[in-house]
Structure 1
């Protein structure tokens, strides 16, 4: 998208939205950043605070705006909604956040917006689906953050365990961004060598039980962080910046986003976390990995949990 002014509108100036805005400023990803929130004073305060740090960051125009600013936006990133409280699962948030999203998406589309939606609010898979339905946009232009955070948590913990730079660990978490997600061990590798093969040749140092514990820590990470500090926001903010770069720079990068499946993995009409190629047009292609039998069963179980959870929403709204 070189040669044009790039604009990102962030809807929701809470912990995730403000952390994402701060990371965007630090990494110099866009030319214009617009902050929207029901609490207009908070959005204005964040814009002021970010602008004051501009001389130490990257040149860009930042302001607290209105839905009319969405018309010229390349991306509208939604981080608004009710947060996951201690003891709640992400799926507990469905009804209240669907109501919020109906208002948000209608207001965005009324501006004449014709860009790409990125959804970060939980439950992200279901809210990506409702954003697609409410917006009427092509499916490739509605993207959920999916398991981009779970995947980098996975890579970080595996790198830590094997004492390898996590950037050289290639592994995916797929499925619901939640309790039914799964590790794709059949496609996990370190520098091209399958992790399970590496494990077997170093059985005096590493164990399969430790790998199982690593996945459990990935799956339950949000609960541990929420228990300690009330919310998670830095990791997902950096994940959103990575996704933003992939889109605005037309990178054709593979990221584990939430995308609509249309026959891939034997599933239809569901947004769920999968590896996909992302570029300036949105989702170019869902990568259909050859999962082993156990992984495929777990993936379908995860999809069925999502479908059952969103059935009342589909019945009520669509």
Structure 2
């Protein structure tokens, strides 16, 4: 299908606003459905998109009731519960207790949803699994490692003073402190690259902090990753992506080849260090999942 897709955006915060604005000018997206925690936020975003459409002739945007979101061909799930994040480590995991009930409510509303779901709400790997298992939707993908991969390539390109297009390398595992930089398989211009792990690890950690300090919240990078993933998952184009999917019961970022909208896992060759880190990320994400119960509340232990 080359056009005419309807995409639902759940959440009208920083990510929801940016995703909607990017989708509105994609030629294959003809309609946007927007819902948020407050009707005021959803109406405000739709009104803003309507204004933009007069100049860009993009997708038409509509506010939608919760029950109507199941009519979309694809959903972008990006609500954020109200909470104060004071962590300096495992920052994304701090949202688990607050965001899980929100995701659970949406999963129950969208039970059996047949379309494509892209989860953005953090901790994204855990909540992608949570939504998939509660809703029984079959095509649920988490965004996170794609953004990490983009940041990694940019950091390495800047370090070596080469065009970013010449860098081929991936970040997999957890979108968070358990991210695995696949340095051993990284290439520049097709040749094995020297990767200063301390420098690129620090840049991957510090980059979101600089964005948050400067503009309040990360938005453009993850939103662009959402749109890039949807192009492939809706069969607009083929390509490689790094998305969180089910690998033997635990959801974590992995490289996928997506052809005609169908993803195929294409594992990377990992060295001993990377294998150990990937195993640790898997263990960590499995443990995090076990602290939420089927209704979304933290389990008492």
Do they superpose with TM above 0.5?
yes
Partner of 1:201: none
Partner of 1:52: 51
Partners in 1 of 2:86 and 2:294 — Cα distance? 29
Equivalent of residue 272 in structure 1, options 252, 268, 278: 252
Deviation at residue 223 of structure 1 after TM alignment:
3.0
Equivalent of residue 102 in structure 2, options 87, 100, 103: 100
Partner of 1:171: 169
Partners in 1 of 2:143 and 2:227 — Cα distance? 11
Q: What's the CA shift string for 1:238-276, capped at 9, x where partnerless?
A: 111111111223433211110110xxxxxx210001111
Deviation at residue 71 of structure 1 after TM alignment:
3.0
Partners in 2 of 1:193 and 1:79 — Cα distance? 38
Partners in 2 of 1:123 and 1:58 — Cα distance? 35
Partners in 2 of 1:62 and 1:280 — Cα distance? 27
Q: Which has the higher helix share?
A: 1
CA contact (8 A) 1:86 1:226 kept: no
Partner of 1:265: none
Partner of 2:67: 68
Distance 1:44 1:21, change over 3 A: same
TM-score w.r.t. the length of structure 1 is: 0.86
Partner of 1:127: 127
Partners in 1 of 2:272 and 2:280 — Cα distance? 12
Partners in 2 of 1:127 and 1:240 — Cα distance? 16
Partner of 2:212: 226
Partner of 1:185: 183
Unaligned runs of 5+ in 1: 197-207, 262-267
Equivalent of residue 244 in structure 1, options 230, 235, 238: 230
CA contact (8 A) 1:179 1:220 kept: no
Partners in 2 of 1:304 and 1:84 — Cα distance? 26
Deviation at residue 281 of structure 1 after TM alignment:
4.4
Deviation at residue 69 of structure 1 after TM alignment:
2.8
Q: How many residues align?
A: 294
Partners in 2 of 1:170 and 1:303 — Cα distance? 24
Partner of 1:290: 269
Distance 1:288 1:314, change over 3 A: farther
226-235 vs 293-302, which deviates more?
Answer: 226-235
Deviation at residue 72 of structure 1 after TM alignment:
2.5
Deviation at residue 279 of structure 1 after TM alignment:
4.7
Partners in 2 of 1:248 and 1:53 — Cα distance? 25
Task: Indicate yes or no: 2:118 matched with 1:118.
Answer: yes
CA contact (8 A) 1:84 1:231 kept: no
Give matches, 1:154-169, under 5 Å.
154-169=152-167
CA contact (8 A) 2:134 2:294 kept: no
Question: Is the partner of 1:235 in helix, strand or coil?
Answer: helix
